[in-house]
Amino acid sequence: MEARLSGWNTRLAQLTSSKNPYDSLTPPLVQTSTFVFPDAQTGGARFSGGESGYVYTRLGNPTVQLFEEAVANLEGAEAGVAFASGMGAISGVLMPLLKSGDHLLCSEGVYGSTFGLLEFLAERFQIGHTLSPLQTEEQIEAAILDNTRAMYIETPINPTLSLVDIGLVAKIAHRRGLMLIVDNTFMTPYWQNPIALGADVVIHSATKYLGGHGDVIAGIAVGKTEFMRTVRLSTLKDVGAVLSPFDAWLLLRGMRTLALRMEQHARNAQRVVEFLANQPAVMLLHYPGLFGGAQQSILKRQMRSPGAMISFELRGGMEAGIAFMNHLRLIKIAVSLGDIHTLIQHPASMTHCLVPRDERLRMGLPDGMVRLSVGVEDADDLIADLSQAFEQL
Ligand SMILES: Cc1ncc(COP(=O)(O)O)c(C=O)c1O
């Protein structure tokens, strides 16, 4: 009889324990580029799909597959395809979905390189896009064009942290026969489950909270078996941004402590937000937990936590923001997030430097804004570091 899996920590610890031919406690790392066929006929049969079995790691690998199944399981999806980066997953999903002349409707505010990809698709392949706040039914309906093929949202939006109602967007998308793709990087399945809210595809930069330890670049998309098969056989196989087995193994290792880490990230973020809210130098503070009105209702409906990402703008704009970052000692200046270390970055000159200034300002991202990814260190130490940096301003 299978042991009853009660809570998240148990579920995460058990994720990879089935389908392990060696009975090893931890998942096997199958670090191989190719697989040996017992005979030529089997090789041919595996290529033609007449027989299941591994062929070549770009097409599938047992360790990578364990990672794909683990994320699909946590997201409540049928299947997953892993990629060498979050951007690999985003382009891997958009390319088989869109063709020249199509249009993609996106949340107003997407990760800088996602914006770069949208611009590239527009310039080179005439695939248009619109960035819209997508806050009300009327606004969403009005932004859908005759050639809109899919909708793509981030929520919370990087780095303004404003929220999009996944259930509302999914309802309208399905009414119009459109696929909804959600980038769930900032929340992880621990805090938000877009598929349960109606999304068709969920994407992660697994580089962030899923991996959690700053030692891997990876991405994953999960969704329905048929669409994921198309993604695997088109962009994964033929474009080839494939995840290495060792990186999949590192991700599986990191994911076993996802729940523990997320709880500590959230506790720390709460303390840091309370501290920042009382700093006279902080002019604007963005954190979903501080939102009121409709944004607060969205939070309550779809998120189990306000998360651990905070952005703020200092009085004195860009110069003050940069000086503040340079005074920090424990908190590192680095452009990633979801790491056990607390990281700070300046979106206007770093992650969002590709976004033209007016577009960036329209996304609610001013020149002086800094973004903090709160790690799992002791909150008192983080606050002491922030405090000494404020004193030096
Ligand atoms: C929300 C979001 N999506 C996608 C990406 C891209 O992920 P990767 O850096 O793994 O390619 C990032 C990277 O920061 C991100 O923040």
Residue closest via CA to ligand 1's atom 7 equals 86
Residue 186 corresponds to which amino acid? F
Q: Is 207 in the pocket of ligand 1 (CB under 6 A)?
A: yes
Catalytic residue among 149, 208, 256, 360: 208
Contact 199, 182 (CB under 8 A): yes
| pLDDT tens string 227-260 | 999 999 999 999 999 999 999 999 999 999 999 9
Contact 59, 177 (CB under 8 A): no
Decide if pLDDT at 201 tops 70: yes
CATH 3.40.640.10 residue window(s) in the chain: 8-255
Q: Which residue has the tokens 């770009």?
A: 58
Question: Is 300 an annotated catalytic residue?
Answer: no
Write the burial class of residue 43 (CB in 10 Å: 0-12 exposed, 13-18 middle, 19+ buried): middle
Q: Is 219 in the pocket of ligand 1 (CB under 6 A)?
A: yes
Residue closest via CA to ligand 1's atom 16 equals 111
CATH 3.90.1150.10 residue window(s) in the chain: 258-392
Closest among 162, 110, 168 to 289, alpha carbons compared: 162
Q: Strand, helix or coil at 18?
A: coil
The pLDDT-based confidence of 18 (bands split at 50, 70, 90) is low
205 alpha carbon – ligand 1 mean position (Å): 5
Per-residue model confidence (pLDDT) at position 329: 98
Q: What is the mean pLDDT of residues 320-347?
A: 95
The pLDDT-based confidence of 221 (bands split at 50, 70, 90) is very high
Decide if pLDDT at 2 tops 50: no
Q: What is the mean pLDDT of residues 144-173?
A: 96
Q: Strand, helix or coil at 370?
A: strand
CB atoms under 10 Å from CB of 205, counted, come to: 30
Q: What is the mean pLDDT of residues 334-348?
A: 95
Per-residue model confidence (pLDDT) at position 3: 47
Look up the CATH superfamily of 258-392. Answer: Aspartate Aminotransferase, domain 1 (3.90.1150.10)
207 alpha carbon – ligand 1 mean position (Å): 7
Pairing of strands 179-183, 148-154: parallel
Question: Is 176 an annotated catalytic residue?
Answer: no
Residue 344: its H or E element: strand 343-345
Question: Is 224 an annotated catalytic residue?
Answer: no
Mutate to test the pocket of ligand 1, among 107, 155, 158 (most ligand atoms within 8 A of CB): 158
Decide if pLDDT at 19 tops 50: yes
Catalytic residue among 46, 102, 111, 209: 111
Per-residue model confidence (pLDDT) at position 38: 95
| pLDDT tens string 353-383 | 888 888 888 878 888 899 999 999 999 999 9
Reading phi first (left if > 0) and then psi (alpha if -120 to 50, else beta), residue 193 is in beta
Contact 27, 66 (CB under 8 A): yes
117 alpha carbon – ligand 1 mean position (Å): 12
Closest among 126, 121, 124, 131 to 151, alpha carbons compared: 131
Q: What is the mean pLDDT of residues 280-286?
A: 95
Residue closest via CA to ligand 1's atom 9 equals 86
Q: Is 366 in the pocket of ligand 1 (CB under 6 A)?
A: no
Domain 8-255 has CATH 3.40.50.10490: no
Q: Give how far Cα 85 sits from Cα of 81, 117, 258, 322, 346, Å.
A: 12, 14, 19, 28, 22
| pLDDT tens string 93-125 | 999 999 999 999 999 989 889 999 999 999 999
Alpha helix ranges (H) inside the chain: 8-14, 40-48, 62-75, 86-97, 112-125, 137-143, 166-175, 188-191, 225-231, 245-255, 258-277, 293-302, 317-327, 357-362, 379-392
| pLDDT tens string 44-76 | 999 888 999 999 999 999 999 999 999 999 999
Decide if pLDDT at 310 tops 70: yes
Residue 388 neighbours by CB under 8 Å, 6+ apart:
327, 329
